[in-house]
Structure 1
Amino acid sequence: MRLEKRWTFKPTDEPLAQSIQKDLNISLSLCRLLAQRSIRDFASAKHFFRPQLEHLHDPFLMKGMQAAITHIDQTIREGKKIMIFGDYDVDGTTAVAVVYDFLRGNAPDLSKEQLCYYIPHRYNEGYGLSTKAIDECAAQGISLIITLDCGIKSVEKIAYAREKGIGVIVCDHHLPEEGHLPEALAILNPKQSDCPYPFKELSGCGIGFKLISGLAMFWQLDMSLVYNYLDLVATSIAADIVPINGENRILAYFGVEKVNLNPCLAIQVIRELVDTKKVLKVSDLVFVIAPRINAAGRMDDGNKAVALFIEKDYATAQKMAAQLHEDNSDRRLVDKSISDEALLILQEDLGYKDNYSTVLFRPHWHKGVVGIVASRLVDYYYKPTIVLTESNNKITGSARSVTGFNIHDAIASCSDLLENYGGHYFAAGLTMSKENFEPFRQRFEDIVRQTISTESRCPEILIDTELELSQVNYKLFNILQQFEPFGPDNLRPVFVSRSVTNFRQSCKIVKDQHIKFLINQNGAQPISGIGFNLAYKFDLINSNKPFDIVYTIDENEWNNETSLQLKVLDIRASA
C-alpha cells in the first residue's frame, strides 16, 4: 500500500525575504529560507550563520538554579553523598555522564565516596524514579538525588524519598503538570509556567549542562571545563529530536565541531569501531552514535553507556564500545524480526485498512525495541501507532504519531484505563493491566477517528521554496552548508523543480527499490539524482513526459571525485 504524499509549501513572508535580500545581497531563494527561520536582518543572520558561545543564556535565569547549586555545594562540603539519577536513553545517559564527570573532576572538596550514579533498568524498574532506587539510596546513605531527564512527574516517589530523609533536585525538560509538581529541593525545568528562562526547548542533557555551567560560575571555574562536554550535549540534542534553534543551535554547532576535532574518548572509540573518518553531522549522531548508546538500555543495562562516557582508559573504552556495538547488532535483529511479524499481522487483518489507528500487543515482543517498531509501522501505514508487550505482568509499550496529531493527548483521554503514561506530542509511553487492553484499544481508535484531521491521515512533504535546476550549483550548496546543524525547526531545505525531463533516457532501477537518473530543465546542464525506495516511479520518469520533483541537495563522492546530486524525495507528473 503506497500513500501518495501531499506537497505543502511552508509559508514565506515575501516582503521580509526581499528586505533580507537588500541587507545580505544573496539570492531571493536563500532569503526565503532565512525568513522561514525567523531571520529578519543582517544582525539576526549573523547570529544564525556565526553562532557564539557567548550568546548562551545565563544559567541563573532558570528558576531554581540558585537553590539547586546551594544545596549541591552544601551537601558536598558537609561530606554527604550524592546520587546522579537519569533515564536509560541517550538523553538521560549523556546527562548523567556530564553532571557526574564534571562533579567528580571539578567539585571542590568532593571525595570519591561521596558521588555515584544510577540508571534504572528498563525492564525491572521502568522509566523514572522507582521505589527500588530510593530504597537503594537509603541503604547507601545517600543524602541528595539529582534527577536528569526525569522526575517532573515523580510526585509520589519524591515524597517517598523525603520520608527516607533524602532530598531531590529535579532537572527535567518534559512538560510539567502545573499545580501538581513534586516537592523537591529545587526544580530546573524551563517549561514551568513561571520560569523566566528565555529558551524552553533544552534537552535533558542540556538542562544538566546549564546546571554544571551554574556550578562552574559559582565555584569560579574556567568555562572551558564546561564546554568540554558539548559533544555529549550535541548527541543528546540530536537523539532526543529537540528543536535546533535558539540556544540548542549554539550547543549543537559547537558540539558537532567538538565531535569532529576533539571528541571525548567514548565517541572516539565508537567512531573507530564503525570505521568512519568522514566529517560527522547531526544526522550521523542520530544514526551512527546514538543507536549504539541507546542499545545499552534497550538490550541490557543503560549503566553501560554512562560507564563508557566517563571511562578514561583507551583500551577499556574500546572493550566497552565493542559491547555496545554488539548490543546494537542484537537490537537490529530483534527490531527486524518484530517489525516483520507486526507487518504480517496487519496484512492478514482484513478489517485493519478501515482503522484510523494501529494498536498491537504481543506478550513476547522485546520491550526495548517496541518504540522503533511503532515508528516503522507509522512509516508504512501512516496511522497513530501503539506497540505493546508484556513486562512484569503488565502491558507496556510505546506510541508514535503522525504530523498534526497529538498522541499524548489521545492517550491521556484514556488515562482511567492506564496505570502510567507520559511523553509528548509525537511520542509517548504507557502501561496498563492486561484486562484493560481491549477497552483501551477500542477507545483509542474511537478518539483517533473522532479527532484526527483529514490532512493528518496523509503523509506530507514540506517544501521550502521552488528552484530552477540552473540555480543548483556550488555557490548555493556552500551557503546551504552554513545552515547546519540541521534538525527540527531548522530542517535541511527541501526544494521543488517543475517540468524537468529524463535526460537521454538515463533512468535506471538500482537494487530493485531505488532509482538513479540524470535530469535537466529547459535544456540546461543535466544533474544527477537518486531516489531511495522510488523504483515504482520508474515508468513515470521514463514516459518522456515532464515531471516535478521534490529534493534536497547533497554531495556525491565517486572515484575520488565529488559532484552535486539531488536526493529526490518524491516525483509526480507535471500539471
Structure 2
Amino acid sequence: MSTAHVGLPAWSTRSADETAVQNLVDALGCPHAIAQILVSRSISNPAAAQTFFNPTLDDLIDPMLMLGMETAVARIQHAVRSSQPILIYGDYDVDGTTATVLLKTAIERIAPKETPATVTYHVPHRIREGYGMQNGVLGQAAASGVRLVISVDTGIRAFAAAEEAKALGMDLIVTDHHLPDGAIGVPEAVAVLNPAQENCPYPFKHLCGAAVAFKLAHALLLAATETEEQRTKLKHGLIPSFLKLVAIATIADSVPLEGENRVIATLGLRELRNPVQPGLRALMQVAQIPINRPPTATEVGFRLAPRINAAGRMDIAGDVVELFLTKDAARATHLTEKLNRLNDERRATEAKALDAIEIQLTALRDTLGDYLAECIILDDPEWHRGVLGILASRVVDRTGRPAIVMTHEDGHAHGSGRSIAGFHLLDALSAIHEPVSESDTPLFTRFGGHAHAVGFSMPSDRTNLLRERMQRYGAPRLTAEIMTPPLECDAELLLSDLTQSFYDWLTRCEPFGIGNREPIFLTRALTLCAPVRFIKERHICLQLQRSGQTTHISALGWSRTTDWPARCVEMALDTGSLVDVAYRLKAKTNPQFPGLELELVDLRLA
C-alpha cells in the first residue's frame, strides 16, 4: 500500500536537565545518552533509575487500594463457601480471554478441596453477540443457578445488563479498565473495580483489563493465606506465574508501559522463559519464539498476540481460555494449530481488505488532496468485522490521520476507530453522539473505548451523518501541528558511540511500547559509501560512514509507513551523498554477521 503524503515533520531532540543527567551517569556508570533518555522520561534520580532497570515483585501495588476490592473479595469468598455457581463474563480479545483464565484459576484455588468452586465462563462471539454483556446470556446463567456474575475487561458501561442481572436475582462484580461514562457514572453492582473510575484511590490508572482481574485474583489469594510462609510461597510462586498472562495482555492491549505496567511486563516476560503450561509452551513454539530466553515485547505483540486474537476475530475466543487452562499437551497442540490457521486466515482477510482500502484512499486523495482536516472514515459491507481494528490501525499508519473503518450487516454498521496523539477519539464519539436538535436522535446504538481506540455500532443509514459530525468536530481540532508532529529524537550520537556496551544499556530500558517508546537517535553528516541497495524493490539498505573514517554501518529502511525507494530517488541519493539520519539501533539478526545496524525512521540531506 502506498503512503499518503502528510508533510515531513521537523526534527527535535528531547530536552533533559544536564545536572540530573550527569548525576545518573556518575551514579549508574551508564552512557550519557542513556541517562538523557531516563531524565527526559521523568526518571531523574538513581533510586528511580534502579527501579526502572530492575523492577521486583515488591513494586507491585497493594490490590486492596482499589476502590471496591474489599467488597468484591468478601462476596466471592461467600460464593465459594456457599457453593454458589459463579459466571465469569469475558471478552474475545487477548485482554478478555487472559483475564478470564486468571480469575477462574484464582477462584478455584481458594476453594476447599472437598467442596470445589463451580466457576463457568462465557466469552462472547464477536459477530453473533458483539462486545459487552448480553441479557440472553445472563438469563441462561440465572436459570442454571448462577448467583454471582463477574465481568472482566467489560461492564463499565453495562447499565442495562446490570439492571437485568439484579432483576434475575444475581449479584454483579464489574472488573474493567475502559473509561466510565462521565455523565452517568458506573453501573449498579456489588462492586466495580476500575482504577479509572472517580474516587478510586489506586495510584496507577492505566492497567489493562487482565491486570485489573489479576488485582482481584491477587487479593483473593492473599486473603486465603494464613501464615507468613504461605504468603511468601504465594509471592514467589503463583504470582510470578500469573504475571506471564498479565504481561501478554498488557503488551497486546497497548496500555502505557510505565509505572506498574512496566513492572508487570518486565517480570512477566522474564517468567515466559521456558513455560511449563502446555498451551503457552505450544503457542510460543508455533510462533517461533525461542523458549530458552525471555521473549521481547515485540515478539509478544507481533507473534503471540495476533494468534491469540485470531480466535476472537475469526472464530470462537473460548478456545484461547481452554488453551491456557488445559494440562493436556495433545489438546494444547491441537488448539494452537487451530489458532495458527485462524491467524493465517485473518492475514489473508486483512490483505484483501487493504487492497480495497487503497482504492478508497486513492479516491480520497484525488478528491480532497491532503485529506484536509478529516478523520478518515471508510466502509465496505464485504469487510470482516473481526479485522476492523487492524484495518483502522493500518490506515492511521499510512495517513497520519485518525481513522474509522466500518462494515455493514443487516442494516447496522459496525465500526472500529484508531487515533493519533493529541486527538481523543472516545471524546470525539461522545461529542458527536448527542443530538444537536430536538428532532435528532443519538448517533450510536452502542460505543466505547478510550483515547486511541474505539468501537461502536449504529444504523447503516446514519453513515453520512457520522461523516458530517466527525468532519465538523475534527476540523478545528485536527491542526497541522497534531497531524504532522515534530519527530522527537532522544539523543544525538556519533557513530563511535554505537558500541555493544551502549546497546547492552539500551536493552536494559526494555520493554518498549506506548509510554516507554523505543528510543530514536540522531546522527548528522554521514556519507553514503556505496550506492543505495534496494531490497525486493520496496526497502533500502544504505552503507554509511563518518567522513574521513573507514568504519561503516548499515542502515535499513523498511517501507511500512514510508516509501523509502521513492524518498531516495527524490533526494537523488548516491555514493558520496551527505545525510542526517534518525534511527533506532538494532542488533543484527544473522548470527553469521554479528554487530549493530540502524533502522531508519527519517532521512534528510545534510
- Matching of residue 181 in structure 1 with residue 197 in structure 2: no
- Matching of residue 74 in structure 1 with residue 78 in structure 2: yes
Alignment correspondent of 1:233? 246
Select the residue among 503, 508, 512 that pairs with 2:537: 512
* 1:144-171 residue CA offsets vs partner (Å, 9 max, x unmatched): 0111111111112111100100111111
* 1:268-327 residue CA offsets vs partner (Å, 9 max, x unmatched): 101222333274201111100000110111001111111111111000000001111111
Contact 2:6–2:483 (Cα < 8 Å) also in 1: no
TM-score, normalised to structure 2, is 0.91
Local SS of the residue matching 2:203: coil
* 1:175-219 residue CA offsets vs partner (Å, 9 max, x unmatched): 123452111101111112211112111111111111111111100
Instruction: Give how far 1:93 is off.
Output: 0.5
Question: Root-mean-square deviation (CA), in Å?
Answer: 1.8
Local SS of the residue matching 1:180: coil
Instruction: Give how far 1:123 is off.
Output: 1.2
Q: Partner letter of residue 552 of structure 1?
A: R
Instruction: Give how far 1:52 is off.
Output: 0.7
Q: Partner letter of residue 278 of structure 2?
A: L
In 2, Cα distance between equivalents of 1:121 and 1:8? 46
Contact 1:267–1:289 (Cα < 8 Å) also in 2: no
Local SS of the residue matching 2:595: strand
Alignment correspondent of 2:517? 491
Contact 2:162–2:189 (Cα < 8 Å) also in 1: yes
Alignment correspondent of 1:202? 207
Alignment correspondent of 1:156? 160
Q: Partner letter of residue 421 of structure 1?
A: F
Instruction: Give how far 1:4 is off.
Output: 4.2
Instruction: Give how far 1:109 is off.
Output: 5.2
> Which stretch shifts more, 445-454 or 274-283?
274-283
Contact 2:406–2:416 (Cα < 8 Å) also in 1: yes
Go from structure 1 to structure 2 and tell me whether the alpha carbon gap of 1:447 and 1:114 turns closer, same or farther (over 3 Å shift).
same
Matching of residues 316-335 of structure 1 within 5 Å: 316-335=331-350
Q: Partner letter of residue 362 of structure 2?
A: Q
Instruction: Give how far 1:460 is off.
Output: 5.2
- Matching of residue 565 in structure 1 with residue 597 in structure 2: yes
In 2, Cα distance between equivalents of 1:386 and 1:263? 41
Matching of residues 369-380 of structure 1 within 5 Å: 369-380=387-398
> Which stretch shifts more, 422-431 or 220-229?
220-229
In 2, Cα distance between equivalents of 1:277 and 1:408? 38
Instruction: Give how far 1:126 is off.
Output: 1.0
- Matching of residue 2 in structure 1 with residue 5 in structure 2: yes
In 2, Cα distance between equivalents of 1:570 and 1:141? 60
Q: Partner letter of residue 249 of structure 1?
A: R
Matching of residues 29-428 of structure 1 within 5 Å: 29-108=33-112, 111=115, 114-178=118-182, 179-220=184-225, 221=230, 222-223=233-234, 224-262=237-275, 264-277=277-290, 279=293, 280-349=295-364, 350-353=366-369, 354-355=371-372, 356-415=374-433, 416-428=442-454
Local SS of the residue matching 1:413: helix
Contact 1:3–1:459 (Cα < 8 Å) also in 2: no
Contact 1:508–1:538 (Cα < 8 Å) also in 2: no
- Matching of residue 453 in structure 1 with residue 479 in structure 2: yes
Go from structure 1 to structure 2 and tell me whether the alpha carbon gap of 1:547 and 1:212 turns closer, same or farther (over 3 Å shift).
same
In 2, Cα distance between equivalents of 1:309 and 1:423? 26
In 2, Cα distance between equivalents of 1:462 and 1:195? 34
Local SS of the residue matching 2:588: strand
In 1, Cα distance between equivalents of 2:389 and 2:174? 26
Q: Partner letter of residue 479 of structure 1?
A: W
* 1:367-389 residue CA offsets vs partner (Å, 9 max, x unmatched): 00111111111122222211111
Instruction: Give how far 1:528 is off.
Output: 1.7
Local SS of the residue matching 1:168: strand
Local SS of the residue matching 1:92: helix
> Which stretch shifts more, 518-527 or 304-313?
518-527
In 1, Cα distance between equivalents of 2:408 and 2:146? 33
Contact 1:9–1:465 (Cα < 8 Å) also in 2: yes
Instruction: Give how far 1:63 is off.
Output: 1.1
In 1, Cα distance between equivalents of 2:386 and 2:575? 46
Instruction: Give how far 1:406 is off.
Output: 1.3
Contact 2:283–2:336 (Cα < 8 Å) also in 1: yes
Go from structure 1 to structure 2 and tell me whether the alpha carbon gap of 1:131 and 1:241 turns closer, same or farther (over 3 Å shift).
same
Contact 1:123–1:391 (Cα < 8 Å) also in 2: no
Local SS of the residue matching 2:600: strand
TM-score, normalised to structure 1, is 0.96
Contact 2:106–2:220 (Cα < 8 Å) also in 1: no
Contact 2:90–2:151 (Cα < 8 Å) also in 1: yes
Select the residue among 24, 27, 45 that pairs with 2:28: 24
In 2, Cα distance between equivalents of 1:265 and 1:75? 30
Q: Partner letter of residue 538 of structure 2?
A: Q
In 2, Cα distance between equivalents of 1:63 and 1:131? 26
Alignment correspondent of 2:439? none
Q: Partner letter of residue 238 of structure 1?
A: I
In 2, Cα distance between equivalents of 1:260 and 1:141? 41
Instruction: Flag structure 1 segments of 5+ consecutive residues without an equivalent.
Output: none
> Which stretch shifts more, 380-389 or 277-286?
277-286
Instruction: Give how far 1:456 is off.
Output: 2.0
Select the residue among 466, 474, 491 that pairs with 1:440: 466
Local SS of the residue matching 1:261: coil
In 1, Cα distance between equivalents of 2:520 and 2:273? 26
Alignment correspondent of 1:462? 488
In 2, Cα distance between equivalents of 1:487 and 1:325? 25
In 1, Cα distance between equivalents of 2:18 and 2:115? 60
* 1:64-112 residue CA offsets vs partner (Å, 9 max, x unmatched): 1111000000011111110111111110111001111232344335855
Q: Partner letter of residue 403 of structure 2?
A: T
Q: Partner letter of residue 45 of structure 1?
A: A
In 2, Cα distance between equivalents of 1:168 and 1:123? 25
* 1:35-78 residue CA offsets vs partner (Å, 9 max, x unmatched): 02221222111111111111211111111111100000001111
Contact 1:418–1:431 (Cα < 8 Å) also in 2: yes
Alignment correspondent of 2:437? none
Contact 1:125–1:132 (Cα < 8 Å) also in 2: no
In 2, Cα distance between equivalents of 1:351 and 1:561? 48
Instruction: Give how far 1:3 is off.
Output: 3.5
In 2, Cα distance between equivalents of 1:102 and 1:523? 64
Q: Partner letter of residue 537 of structure 2?
A: D
In 2, Cα distance between equivalents of 1:100 and 1:199? 24
Instruction: Flag structure 2 segments of 5+ consecutive residues without an equivalent.
Output: 434-441
In 2, Cα distance between equivalents of 1:516 and 1:65? 54
In 1, Cα distance between equivalents of 2:581 and 2:336? 41
In 2, Cα distance between equivalents of 1:376 and 1:468? 34
* 1:417-449 residue CA offsets vs partner (Å, 9 max, x unmatched): 111111111111111112211111111122111
Identical aligned pairs, as a percentage? Answer: 33
